[in-house]
Amino acid sequence: MLSYKAIYVITLREFKRFFRQKGRLIVTAARPLIWLFIVGSGFTRLIDTDDNVQYIQFILPGIVGMTILFSSVFSTISVVWDREFGFLREMLVAPVSRVTIVFGKLISGTALSVFQGAALLLIAPLLGLDVGIAEFFMMLVLMFLVALAITSMGLFIASFLTSLEGFNVIMNFIVLPMFFLSGALYPVGSLPPYIKIFAFINPLCYGVDSFKHVVLPGQGRLIAEFPIWLDLAFVSLFAVAFTFASAYVFERRK
């Protein structure tokens, strides 16, 4: 049975940890800005488009997706950290179910990712994109869904690991391909067929595409590539599947 008070405590602890780590705050803020204004501005001068969308505008949904990806995945490091340094053992012997701990970690990781993605959206007007109140709230819903899917996947993997070194190796092996195969930097349709296969099973690919439906205007090749219903269906099914898988594995791990 879920304990909402325990979920609240776990979520509050993760937020306090995030805001107390000044280095993490700086890196979290700097990484997407570097990609957006340095990489994006450079490629904008190299890539000519006949669309209503400039390249630096095109990569904004992808950079939001990147922010959610890194934040969601690395927020699950706390599971390995807490197991290694004893705090998780204290939670496991507390009078709360392990499913409660799983949902606490999922909600905290998801909320942190949405917070960081929403903060990045505030610079959309500087890029000439019209993101109004309606679009902003639509993005919040989509970001929550994508963040939940990625966090649940990270938590599922973290449930099997016992050291921070192993987590970092596996996560970097997964995170970078997910980002580069998400359509964040270039349309998925431009990839070779044998690489598209991996993009089509990548949840971030559909998450970034759903962001493009909301953020990018006009028509052309630098816009969303899949129907919005397909984006929502894939990410939702992925989130549900890995949420249950995480709860199942965590309940049986010692």
* Model pLDDT, residue 148: 94
Per-residue pLDDT at 77: 74
pLDDT of residue 92: 56
Q: Which residue has the tokens 């979290």?
A: 28
Question: What was the pLDDT predicted at 71?
Answer: 87
Task: Tell me the C-alpha distance between 48 and 200, whole Å.
Answer: 27
Q: Report DSSP state, residue 132.
A: -
Q: What's the rounded Cα separation, in Å, for the pair 198 and 193?
A: 9
Q: CA dist 95 to 1, 47, 68, 92, 249, Å?
A: 11, 58, 32, 8, 19
106: which residues sit within 8 A by CB, 6+ positions away? 148, 151, 152, 155, 243, 246
DSSP secondary structure of 99-123: HHHHHHHHHHHHHHHHHHHHHHHTT
What DSSP state is assigned to residue 159?
T
**What is the pLDDT at residue 19?**
77
pLDDT tens, per residue, the chain with 254 residues: 556 676 777 777 777 777 777 777 787 778 888 888 887 777 766 666 656 677 888 889 999 999 999 888 888 777 766 665 555 555 555 556 667 777 888 888 899 899 999 988 988 888 888 888 999 999 999 999 999 999 999 888 887 776 766 766 776 788 889 999 998 888 888 888 889 999 999 999 999 999 999 988 665 667 788 999 999 999 999 999 999 898 888 777 65
- Give Dmax over CA atoms of the chain in angstroms: 61
What pLDDT was estimated at residue 160? 78
Cα separation, 208 vs 231, whole angstroms: 9
Q: Output Rg (C-alpha) for the chain, integer angstroms.
A: 18
Angle, helices 77-85/55-75, rounded to nearest 10 degrees: 20
pLDDT for res 67: 92
pLDDT at 239: 94
Q: What is the pLDDT of residue 161?
A: 72
pLDDT at 154: 87
The pLDDT assigned to 164 comes to 67
How far apart CA 24 and CA 186 sit, in angstroms, is: 28
**Residue 105 is which amino acid?**
K
Helix boundaries (H) for 132-192:
133-158, 164-180
In this prediction, residue 83 carries a pLDDT of 63
